[in-house]
Amino acid sequence: GEVFQRNVLASGVIPQISVIMGPCAGGDVYSPAMTDFIFMVRDTSYMFVTGPDVVKTVTNEVVSAEDLGGARVHTSKSSVADGAYDNDVECLAQMRRLIDFLPASNKEKAPHWPSFDDPLRRDDSLDTLVPSNPNKPYDMKELILKIADEADFFEIQEAFAKNIITGFGRIEGRTVGFVANQPMVLAGVLDSDASRKAARFVRFCDCFNIPLVTFVDVPGFLPGTAQEYGGLIKHGAKLLFAYTQATVPKVTVITRKAFGGAYDVMASKHMRADVNYAWPTAQIAVMGAKGAVEIIFRQDMNNPEAIAARTKEYEDRFLNPFVAAQRGYLDEVIQPHETRARVARALRMLQNKQVNDPWKKHDNIPL
């Protein structure tokens, strides 16, 4: 029991990492559950509150230890674990790599390592990363690897909620936390799982003075009864809360779509982001052209030509970054090839950022 207390008191003071290399069952699972990261070894590690025998006795359900609490289950379904590796040696090697990204405590700034990657490096391939067809996906991980120092990126929860990417990289040798929508999965929409995953990562970065770099291409929140019944409103609010509460430097780059409430949630200016950039391909609006026109001009629905003309008019007027820039919601519209230089400059400018929030015992995040 005392171990749990120590986990709680150390939370947010020092980074806590749990590595599960064998069975972990019963009440013992709650100690790793309260740490910042959990990593497992495939085929040899298990985590569950009640084992297969108890499950069979109580519910008459027959399940193996692997299917009940193996690494695959916890990395892809339950989100209990943040990653899994094939053997103990690889797992420990990756833990050393992760620790290199983290400060020793909340009193220290993010670690600074020597970097041989020019912060002003220009990457012309980014100019063609976003397809001309707005419905065609592209790999956001490619952008992260081209922005980060030496393409070094340590992804967190890679197998869970793949429609959002979270992980650590470096810019100018300093650790940053990357959060990015992934258009290759569900078009990059936000759902309950993605919101929880990103919110927890953002809060960890805020605890340990790690700046946040957010790449946005989000068409909205995932619609449907399954999401609404599953508490999408509460889970989406967690990410909104986490970003707004974070006092670390926050730099946002909108690469393509940023629609509706999802635009707000993804580190917009309204959520106290410090520097907000957009590529010329950015589309910042309440919703996409087709949906907006069908609502606003419902009376013309039987006239395809009128609808097409209205859609074109909406696209030309609103689906660009310049309306938002005119209103001060963007700091600048930048060329994709200069993204690394602009992000590096913004982080340099913000490295001594100070925020004075009103005193409170603690917040009441919508858990």
So which residues are the catalytic ones? Answer: 26-27, 261-262
For residue 97, CA distances in Å to 92, 94, 154 come to: 9, 5, 8
The three-point CA angle 95-100-106 to 5° equals: 105
Of 84, 94, 113, 199, nearest to 154 by C-alpha is: 94
Contacts of 109 (CB under 8 A, 6+ apart): 103, 174, 209, 351
Of 15, 75, 7, nearest to 42 by C-alpha is: 75
| CA torsion, ordered 146, 149, 151, 154, to nearest 10 deg | -120
What is the distance between the terminal CA atoms of the chain, rounded to a whole angstrom?
24
Contacts of 104 (CB under 8 A, 6+ apart): 14, 15
User: Contact, 19 vs 81, CB < 8 A?
Assistant: no
> What are residue 298's phi and psi, to 5 degrees?
-60, -30
At 33 the three-state DSSP class reads helix
Please give the Cα distance from 9 to 214 (Å, whole number): 30
Alpha helix positions (H), 11-137: 30-33, 52-59, 65-69, 71-76, 88-101
Dihedral of alpha carbons 352, 353, 357, 362, sign: negative
Dihedral of alpha carbons 308, 313, 315, 318, sign: negative
Please give the Cα distance from 280 to 335 (Å, whole number): 7
Of 244, 254, 157, 260, nearest to 213 by C-alpha is: 254
